[in-house]
Chain A
């Protein structure tokens, strides 16, 4: 088996992974850092982020306001020490990106321009038109090219973490072009593998977002935190699930029901005004807006199309000039995928699975409880997003905590002696597992697409916007049976060269594990908070649940759920008030 090594291994070439790699190269120039990614880094899903990235920059804003918006937006489940570090380091990270060439939109005098965003009380969202993630990712990737210390394994698919003597010491990965299974050892590993939206049928997430890193960490014994918190974004295009950015509303767009009525006014989100008002109406937080949609639907006030219920997002009154300047991608996407021009027509939208608040449990430096293993970005849960992430905090998070994890992992790696010999045997076992389970397996009758579709249905029914005990319980049992049926999977493709059916199978197995943690964490949290709404427990219950859930892998399949307290520094739990 081909064995290679480096000092710090970053899994994932999205925003978090690339920022982490640069942090290693800058703080410890003597260390060898490698980025391994199942797609070329610039294909990572950070590329699709549209609206912007939040950081305090204007004189009228303050770090405390950003922290408060984040904490109240997260329904008090954020760790406040993490939030304080986040808002403090955000401006410098964003400026660094500016210095690296990110084409941020500007004021007339050349200063950075900012736009309002949902749940934020002051304008603080930096943007590069409505292709912020695209520019951010390409800027970061192109910047990594100037560091010779950063090595890359492009199109390598990680299948396992190597753990020896109680610490993580590398990974096993398939080189896609040849099918070779390789072991890459390292003194520290940082998981930056992104989210897991593809567990659900209707999502803004790309095909590569399958919770790989979450499952890898979970299988290696690290807990997944707050997995019950799944964000629905209120405005996805029916059928494709393509996102219409929140910026469309922050620039002044309206949400209208079938009667042309701005229905959010009926749900304690303020009164309609022609111009957008911070933390009010269409600029309320995403969890609340998605919940309002369901209530409108129950009242029979939504529209019905071939792909289910929807409402209208109206940006016509913004005018062609503003739309082309600040929302060109919205127009491009609508024209291309819905065949309508938002300058003249209303956009059909409905809530869509968008973001995972939960993830691999880390401390404020990105360290997981497993020695040598770090995590950052959407795969991780630090946690600054609590029960509901505010739009535009995630792109900033991947920079701030990508950098933090990079620095911490480098410092740790510099102290380590090298890989233990037992790892080679582990890697050989993994190679054998892949061959026997998938490539040389005879018999088996299940297809990936069938199992995936069933998982989708289970998750949508049980872990959607509203949840209940009975449905979640049933879902847990059904997922378990799916996992058993997965053992009976059969692949059409037995080749070694770029076998995407093999990777799809491995991704499905990751998703099934992560789905289990979502359902079990949701089942145990008998309260409603942020994006987790239990119709059988409609109130927030700070007595019992001002706590993070931790899902551990247990011996026989189902996860074991434990809790740890939320860190409160200066903002005691309060009522979430919007529209006033």
Chain B
């Protein structure tokens, strides 16, 4: 194994340059290091002006998504040793406006997140004092996978539809909607379906499945989209046959 690695990093400082550029740093190679450690080495020792987001360094806060050698990755869960001796190239996630260096603008996603109403919707709420809503382990299992999303945005960055059609509500938001739809405590599925069907997006998804492939938490957003399309289509057919409603 070599003792150093060439780390090429996309730079963009809007006050200084109109186009992104690249800068290469020579950093020590340590087998325990993840790509994020290398970026921190740059920031601490070589160039304090490099900007990127991170926090937990354990793959759960969702801050550190970037493109590593072309693929969307959590940089705190991607080891240098997966690439060396080849050089490593780190870029901001695709399809998001770049704020600075490796930092992208998430405003669009934060808006979409709210649009899918990711909270429990019920016609009647029981006061906490009356105890829990019962939910069996099997019922929990039906939505659990979709509840594991850390909002890291890798799936958006991998989604060709989102790249072409920024109004597409996107894989993680749909998975989250589905997480609540499938929750036995929730009664908001019809409301959410309305929202999702109004947005083109979901019908444009060609089921490429790139989102599921890059997801570090095995959320399977493509599966969620598929389920949605099925219920969406059935409901659409039913609404033709039974125009007074299907619930």
Contacts and interface: CB of A to CB of B under 8 A. Distances in A.
Interface in B5-39: 13-16, 32
Given A45-B55, A208-B55, A497 B15 contact: yes
A203 to B, nearest CB: 11
B56 A103 contact: no
Interface residues of A, number: 59
Interface stretch (B83-91, B120-128, B197-205, B225-233): B120-128
B151 interface: yes
Interface residues of B, number: 62
Contacts of A146: 117, 119
B180 to A, nearest CB: 7
A447 B41 CA distance: 13
A206 B55 contact: yes
A93 B128 CA distance: 8
Contacts of A100: 119-120
A110 interface: yes
Given A40-B110, A99-B126, A142 B118 contact: yes
B185 A101 contact: yes
Contacts of A207: 54-55, 57
Contacts of B13: 495, 497
Please classify the interface of chain B as helix (H, G, I), strand (E, B), loop, or mixed, using the class held by over half of its residues: loop
A107 B114 CA distance: 32
Given A99-B128, A101-B185, A145-B114, A43 B62 contact: yes
Given A106-B140, A145-B118, A242-B58, A501 B63 contact: no
Contacts of A44: 61
Interface centre among B54, B101, B132, B139 (most CB of A within 10 A): B132
Interface string A333-350: 100110000000000000
B246 interface: no
A113 B224 CA distance: 27
Interface stretch (B42-50, B163-171, B207-215, B236-244): B42-50
B190 interface: no
A501 B43 contact: yes
Nearest to B32: A239
Please classify the interface of chain A as helix (H, G, I), strand (E, B), loop, or mixed, using the class held by over half of its residues: loop
A43 to B, nearest CB: 4
B52 interface: yes
Contacts of B131: 95
B120 A99 contact: yes
B235 interface: no
A43 B63 contact: yes
Interface of A: 39-40, 42-45, 47-48, 92-93, 95-96, 98-101, 103-112, 131, 134-135, 138, 142-143, 145-146, 154, 177, 206-208, 239-240, 242, 332-333, 336-337, 447-449, 491-493, 495-501
20 contacts: A39-B63, A42-B151, A48-B60, A95-B131, A99-B126, A101-B120, A106-B140, A108-B136, A109-B134, A110-B134, A110-B135, A131-B148, A134-B60, A146-B119, A206-B55, A239-B32, A493-B51, A495-B100, A498-B51, A501-B48
Interface of B: 13-16, 32, 43-45, 47-49, 51-63, 77, 99-101, 103, 105-106, 110, 113-114, 117-120, 125-126, 128-129, 131-137, 139-140, 143-144, 147-148, 150-151, 176, 180, 183, 185-186
